[in-house]
Amino acid sequence: MGSLSLDSFRKNNFSASWKTVGAETSVESNTSSEQLREKRREKRAADLVRQEDDATIRLENAAIERSKSVDSSILGKYSIWRKENENENSDSTVRLMRDQIIMARVYISIAKMKDKLDLPQELQARLKESQRALGEAMSDSDLHCSAPEKMKAMGQVLSIARDQLYDCKLVTGKLRAMLQTADELVRGLKKQSTFLSQLAAKTISNGIHCLSMCLTIEYYLPPLEKRKFPRSENLENPNLYHYALFSDNVLVALVVVNSAIMNAKLS
């Protein structure tokens, strides 16, 4: 072939085949490196999954071992369905009796509208009994011992009244009227409370409002030597009577002290 030179490569058109072989070599090397990276990535993922599975198995085994040491007989008494765990402050019975009282008033009004005189009397009697049994109770523990019997009797009378007097439109109207009346009563009480608060604030003089501040200022204004209690030796004299007065009302305390001083007998 003779000596190799750049011109001979150009003449024989070797440059194109040289470039093609180089391109194929670079593509093959890139493909193999990507395959290796993909294999390493898959291997790392498999290792992580295996480690996670091993950790999960260890935790499950530890939980099983701990559960074996727990006394299951103790857990029974914490069941919410057991009678001794009932809430002592429950108010379900109180709310039921209040609902019965409301419905009794509704049926009394409807019975009077329909001229049924016997049923309103029975409802009125049961209503008074329920009100006496309910009293000022806020929870079931505050109820009188006769409350369950009164509630049962009221339920029977309400069942009879419902069979004879129930009318959805009338009952809804009566309940709406009762709600509106109660709302107006609450608004009236709020207005009355606001008026009384303003009246009390206006009728009490400003001097009494600031009496504590005035006394404090009068105590700290004089110099230190004048603040000392006169004849302080009498504070520890066992031959004298010593009194301690505790009050959050400065004015009342002042009146009591002045009265005690004025009526004291000097020896």
60-103: pLDDT as tens digits: 777 777 666 655 444 444 444 444 445 555 788 888 888 888 88
Beta carbons of 157 and 108 less than 8 angstroms apart: no
* pLDDT reading at 200 higher than 80: no
Segment 1-47, tens digit of pLDDT: 445 555 554 555 544 444 444 444 555 667 777 888 888 888 888 88
Per-chain mean pLDDT for the chain? 75
Closest by Cα among 227, 224, 254, 260 to 242: 260
For the chain, report the end-to-end CA distance as a whole number of angstroms. 151
Distances 106 to 171, 205, 225 between C-alpha atoms, Å: 7, 50, 76
Give the pLDDT score at 28: 62
H or E element in which residue 230 lies: none
Segment 225-241, tens digit of pLDDT: 777 777 888 888 888 87
- Give the burial class of 126: count Cβ atoms within 10 A of its Cβ; 0-12 exposed, 13-18 middle, 19 or more buried: buried
Section 200-220 average pLDDT: 70
As a whole number of angstroms, the distance between CA 197 and CA 109 comes to 38
Beta carbons of 250 and 215 less than 8 angstroms apart: yes
As a whole number of angstroms, the distance between CA 37 and CA 31 comes to 10
